Structure 1
Amino acid sequence: MANLTGNLRAPTEKRRCTAHKKGKNGEKGERCQAWALKGQTVCRVHGGAARQNRAAGERRVAEERLEADTRRALARLDVPAVENPLTALSQLAGQVIAWKDALADRVNELQQIRYTDDKRAEQLRSEVALYERALDRCVNVLGTIGRLRIDERLAAISEQQATVVIGAIEAALAHAGVTGPEASAAKAVAARHLRAV
């Protein structure tokens, strides 16, 4: 999962405010030395206390925690190497769409897409933000498949594999001394089985 929070680091790590104090004659002054609020790049004085910024910061912190938990879970898995990237990309497309559909179900169950937290700040529900991100991922993966013409490439690979198998069957029949109508019948049966797979 990509880090979607830009230059923000783990929510527990303290960061200095990226804003600058006002200098003389309205020029940009020294960088602020105050601590940035969690999930934000600025301190309370430089906009971190604004309701929408607090809400966005809390959402980023929650997302960063979820991402860290997911990375820890993945680190414990024995992940195999990708043998066929074309097939893997097609499988990924199926997973991305399934994830989007699962989130759509969660969003449809919501009574409201926004809520007010204990600080009276209005926030967008995380299900909605995740659903929007899932839609973007669907567009990216499906667009990649379209640009790479994955379906055509998979079909070409299947045809090549079938040609190799039929060639092996012909060689085996010739070696066994099977010729004429029996050989043609055996090849037709093999072709039907290959098409059915």
Structure 2
Amino acid sequence: MESAKPKCSGKRSNGEPCTKWPMKGQRVCNTHGGSSPQAKAAAERRLRTANAEQAVVTFGLPREVDPRDALLEEVYRAAGVVDFLRDQVQKLTADEVVWGKAEEVEKQAGEFPGIDVTHKASVNVWVELYARERKHLVDVCKAAIQAGIEERKVRVAEQQGALLAGVIKAILGDLDLTPEQAARVPEVVPRHLRAVA
């Protein structure tokens, strides 16, 4: 299979493209200046930039977050990971749960070149990950409960409810309802609020 990595961008003395591979992080090979101090410095900058870009993709950029919100986000994220891993574990056969490929070695030389595969009894990596993430989910749930996340959610809901009640009261006051209409408010408003709850 041919590599997608480009060859050296230099030219040979006859004007044809160089067929060598460029040095790591560079566009040219050793023959075409890859060993020069400025080429090495440029390569180092490119590699640092590529590593930083990959880190952003993998880990994300820093951001300000309330610790309680971060904890709640981690609960949701961990629950999603556990669901994904459970799906992977459920696809395994009973034998695959405790028996599988432990090592694969490619031998180029010797009397019998090829690939040696070693199987052994051990817990499947999907099962190990599933158990580890389930424990992590339980741990972050405990931390969230200890931090009063549920209590905070209830307080926020109560505050929103009080705010909504104040808005409704102000609207009803501005409408200048008749006594008959005002008498129906305790029945009509809660019914509509329950419909959207």
Q: TM-score, normalised by structure 2?
A: 0.48
Larger Rg: 2
